[in-house]
Amino acid sequence: MVDRISPSGPLQAPKVGVNPKDKKVALEDPASEVQARQQEDILELSKEAKRVQEVQNTERLRQVQSQVNAGFYNRPEIIRETASRILRLVFNRDITIK
């Protein structure tokens, strides 16, 4: 909403982080401000979360080992799908093997 119009145009709200008395402008670029905050962020997992993650990884490894032993990964369709996914990762394109 415009409160009044001056010869130079409508009034504008002051920029965030700018002190009108100071000629310096603090972080006009919002992306720079976000990057600065992201560099300070830290994520720490609790011991319990690390233990749960380890249990889940161990269970998944057992499941894959069981599938290997049963011959699951020897099926032609599984070999094709695995190869396609590897090629997608390497070449960053959607590649389908027939």
* pLDDT single digits (tens) 20-54: 555 554 555 667 776 766 677 888 999 999 999 99
* 3-12 tens-digit pLDDT: 555 555 555 5
Q: What is the pTM of this model?
A: 0.42
Rounded CA separation 83/94 (Å): 12
In the chain, where are the structural domains located?
47-91
Contacts of 27 (CB under 8 A, 6+ apart): 17, 33, 36
Tokens of 26: 């603090």
Q: How confident is the model at residue 56 (pLDDT cuts 50, 70, 90)?
A: very high
Mean pLDDT of 60-78: 95
